[in-house]
Structure 1
């Protein structure tokens, strides 16, 4: 999502991540025993010994009896203390180490799944597969197929295109607080890139460094990225620039799919999506009975409305709902004044309020404004708060979620 020039000049109250981006998913689970300040020191030392042993000898046969012996505790006391303080049973903790080691093998080796299972300590390939799917949400085969593609998305929207094609990128922008709609995939992205509303030089440097570590075979980015940055990441791997403004999301999707030899997959996905959107649109239009709907976004102390990209593409093109203003003349978004709200809001309203201080302050003031309280949607109780994502993610993965959510948003309480 891009901002109007006036908004781009505003101070960005969003702070950068205070912590490092999520670590690679195949990194070993930390014991984190130091966080438990109330631990009896002797218990901590005993359990610490077994955790160290698990990390060193995970591929070997291991039982609770053996671990309790290393800890110097009775079997019952060890199992009870381990689960109480660590939060998992000893065997579950051991299996999490083994699963993470298996992910590393699936990512970096060409071994068969049976061989990987044995290599990390599972004697039964099918038991390993069940445990892997329970932990990762996908089968080892699916995981290997996704991660072995080694495709990185330097631009946020294009990760959504890859996900719709069944590909999890090896590197992509991740913000757990904003991108809740992609939460299920965060743990499967080995090299998460940082995401912010303003891509300052230090953040770009961090992402470039993460890309180098990811060693992708292909990097996708949009043409809104600075040419100098494109040149620098182009030295890491082949970089393909997919136009963002020039192409709509369907054209972008087809171009990315063709690039990856998945043109037929994209065509099938679009056919299913169009059928799904047509059915949902018919039901929503019947519910609306001609009502108009718009999205208003309080962003960094500014009021913004949208055209036919982002959520507007789903509302006005795919679901064929009515917009209270001329959405076709807004390329991406348009900043308005409070006094203009009646011109840009209709019978129903979807409201996004950012968490930055300026936007929260504006919302507190706006709620007591006569302009706001007299809006048709406000008076009728037809205002619904929505999250920034998926509604501002211009990608097939997000649009599919929007279609699923749309019918529920305005159902009668």
Structure 2
């Protein structure tokens, strides 16, 4: 939902309007904001500290303060400040089961926060003067007048924000396009800021907000990414590559390259051409997402149903993860580097005698952290960041499509395996895609489950949901339990079962906690919950 739409659907109530004149250098007591507030500076200069972040203040600046923020205002001694402060509350509509319900007090976070500069200073000042005068009136119509003036102020703010946003986007895009082609030149912050049409300090803050790093760090990243391509795709010397990307001295280039990638150029070149052995099947999905097929992989027991087996057809496959012959297989296949999880590494402590070994924790890292770590090992950091950006964009589009189809309806994930019935929670496997990336609503009881929880069939009503996804493994005891569950009164009484909104799904890719599998899951989830929408590219 856009900011404008959110604001349009709010009802406002003005509590208090103040006008403060600071004498000389005044420092108002630091305090926590107990209501939503707006501070408009009408005159003078100073600073305002919000949760430890200091903003310089001058006439025309406006600050939207969220409830609970710690604030301190300090006036300049030579140009004392004058400012108006509005304390207000709001109500916003909320959805239940996909339908708009009554208004709820502060139901969503107020969409404007922090510093806003207004060019039309005099018009806004007149509005605040009228708001201040209306606050002193005693008649019953005061609140209507205040609300009308407040809405006019919000209109002016939004018009200003939208116009500034357009100018900002155009200015920043000019510099981004320039850096893509001229990153190897000597480029100063002042030069980029002038090209964008902003002050150096504002440009620097805006750049970091958009790109996540400073302009200098971004230029370094562009240079090193190009250097990585030249290292792999050309036979040029390190000195030539250093100069081609903007570094005069090879030694400085090497230091910057190692700082950015974790490896000096010579080691990176070797790593990028290595034969990689993956000794946990989940890691295959991370490597394949980076466009790399492992030289060696492990074959899981349920190989025929493993969703990535066709993409691993060019790999040498070790029989199973737990095979006693796996070390002999590794020696025979001659990998250059071994990537294993901690459990496999601890059982096979002589791995380093076969090839350099990197041990990655499967349980302690989330899938994004592990994906980036594997990418760094093989020199694919840029590709990993790009992949994650595309994945998040796809998830955002899918989330909107699914939300439009099912609203706030809940989805439950069940699995029958090892003769047990399990509920999957919020943090791993299918749960992290469904509940975190796509923000689909879980049943209330599921919110307390991090990974999974074994339950009895009789407990199913506690996990009532609008939709159910269920997986069942192939062993006879699991199939028998599945038949018992389907025959039970608890199962038949579930809302999703009564309305035929339950789906039996395959084990893979749903429990394969990897980058590529999660992308595939999004497509499957769309097909189940929003079947009229095509999967996103």
TM-score > 0.5, shorter chain as reference: yes
> Equivalent of 1:186, from 300, 306, 312?
312
Alpha-carbon distance, 1:164 to partner: 0.6
Aligned match of 1:296: 414
Which of residues 268, 283, 300 is equivalent to 2:401? Answer: 283
Residue by residue, what CA displacement relative to the aligned partner does 1:245-297 show, whole Å, maximum 9, x if unpaired? 22110010111111111110000000001001110111112111211112100
**Partners in 2 of 1:288 and 1:178 — Cα distance?**
34
Given that residues 300 and 357 in structure 1 are in contact (C-alpha distance below 8 angstroms), is that contact kept between their aligned partners in structure 2? no
- For 2:285 and 2:447, locate their aligned partners in 1 and report how far apart those are by CA, in whole Å: 24
Q: Report the Cα distance in structure 1 between the residues aligned to 2:415 and 2:387, rounded to whole angstroms.
A: 30
Task: Give the structure 2 partner of residue 236 of structure 1.
Answer: 354
TM value normalised by structure 1: 0.59
Q: Is the 8 A contact 1:382 1:410 kept in 2?
A: no
Question: CA shift at 1:244, angstroms?
Answer: 1.7
Alignment of 1:246-261 (within 5 A): 246-261=364-379
Correspondence for 2:292 = 167
Q: Distance in 2 between matches of 1:245 and 1:271?
A: 24
Q: What is the deviation of 1:331?
A: 3.7
Matched residue, 1:127: none
Counterpart residue number, 2:279: 154
Measured at CA, do residues 242 and 179 of structure 1 come closer, stay the same or move farther in structure 2, by a change above 3 Å?
farther
Unpaired runs of 5+ in structure 2? 1-270, 533-537
Aligned partner (choices 491, 514, 525) of residue 406 of structure 1: 525
Q: How many residues align?
A: 260
Q: Report the TM-score, using the length of structure 2 for normalisation.
A: 0.46
Q: How far apart in 2 are the matches of 1:249 and 1:412?
A: 27
Task: Sort the Cα spacing of 1:337 and 1:409 in 2 relative to 1 into closer, same or farther, 3 A.
Answer: same
> How many Å separate the matches in 2 of 1:240 and 1:327?
35
The higher-RCO structure (CA 8 Å, 6+ apart) is 1
Q: Which protein has the bigger helix share?
A: 1
Q: C-alpha deviations, 1:283-315, integer Å up to 9, x for none? A: 112111211112100002100111220011110
Q: Which has the larger radius of gyration?
A: 2
CA distance in 2, matches of 1:180, 1:228: 24
Q: Secondary structure at the match of 1:188?
A: coil
Matches within 5 A, 1:66-77: none
1:211 aligns with 2:211: no
Distance 1:217 1:345 in 2: 51
Q: Which residue among 497, 503, 519 is the counterpart of 1:378?
A: 497
The answer to whether the 8 Å contact 2:282/2:513 transfers is: yes
* Structure 2 residue matching 1:388: 3-state secondary structure: coil
CA distance in 2, matches of 1:245, 1:328: 20
The alignment partner of 1:220 has SS state of strand
Residue among 270, 284, 291 paired with 2:388: 270
Deviation at 1:337, TM superposition (A): 1.0
Task: For residue 326 of structure 1, report the CA deviation from its aligned partner.
Answer: 4.8
